[in-house]
Amino acid sequence: MINPLKKKPRTHFLQKAPEKPDWLKVKLTFPDPKNNPVAIVRNSLEKKKLNTVCESASCPNLNHCWSRKTATYMLGGDICTRRCSYCDVASGKPSALDRDEPKRVAESAIALGLKHVVITAVNRDDLEDGGAAHFAETVEVVREGLPDCKIELLVPDFKVRPESLEIIFQCKPDIFNHNVETIKRLFPEVAPQKKYERSLDVLKIASEKGFLTKSGLILGMGETVEEVKECMRDLIGVGVSLLTLGQYLQPTPTHLPVKSYVLPEVFQELRIYGKSIGFKGVFSGPLVRSSYHADEQVSWNP
């Protein structure tokens, strides 16, 4: 069921996105409808009443990822306390945390036989710890059921509260992921409740604690290639090892308009540049998202 809050306009714009180029059009077919892996994942999630960023953020890779029996679990409900102009997750006043949610995430991951679990959450600025303890509890029960499973946490900035970050560090995720999302100049327009420096601080602290850190950028929102490279250097400067670069796709006419569809050759150029300045892995392409083939990103190094 679509949250009605998603229908609220995100910006003053009313501009339909330009037609997608061919490289952004994806179609999957399944020879055996009775053994459709997308349906298997959907049924598992619906049975456990779980949210995913795949659905809430209208990710273009939903069918592809679910066909691989992977999904990114989204904790804390489906209402975010922040209102970014590009994001399709509903914004408003969230409900109380569902205390049974960590257990259901673990049960779903076990049922799907996942070897790499990505767990994220909506921003919960209404909570004293920003939802950090809820993350930690989920990691604990997933590890109990899947001791050999890699756990990647895609976390908000927690407003860089030391207590919240320490809760995350104590649960020892295999990958600490926090997306900077865009270049510094665009933050006031794209993510007014976030701060570029704050995101860098979160990643720096995690890197200094010895965690494998990861971040991501969405392109096509008005940035230049040089600004992207500058941001990449900033991320290297705070110790980030893994980077994802993907194309912004405008969810509705009232969201931030797409400024450009970045050519595949530019994504390739940025991948090569990222490797040259020290990233251990750069996953760069029009349809790449932070969790896209996350299980492969750790060792992805063509």
- 80 annotated to a ligand binding site: yes
- 67 annotated to a ligand binding site: no
Q: Contact, 179 vs 215, CB < 8 A?
A: yes
Residue 108, strand partner residues: none
Task: Specify the DSSP element, H or E, that contains 129.
Answer: none
Alpha helices in 179-243 (DSSP H): 187-190, 196-208, 225-237
* CA-closest candidate to residue 129, choices 92, 161, 173: 161
Tokens of 241: 């090892």
Phi and psi at residue 66, in whole multiples of 5°?
-65, -25
The Cα–Cα gap between 64 and 38 comes to 8
The Cα–Cα gap between 61 and 55 comes to 10
- 149 annotated to a ligand binding site: no
**Sign (positive or negative) of CA dihedral 58, 187, 244, 163:** negative
Distance of CA 187 to the CA centre of its chain: 17
Tokens of 290: 């932070």
For residue 13, the number of C-alpha atoms closer than 13 Å in the C-beta half-sphere is 19
The Cα–Cα gap between 163 and 111 comes to 33
Q: Residue positions in the annotated binding site for [4Fe-4S] cluster?
A: 54, 59, 65, 80, 84, 87, 291
Q: Residue positions in the annotated binding site?
A: 54, 59, 65, 80, 84, 87, 291
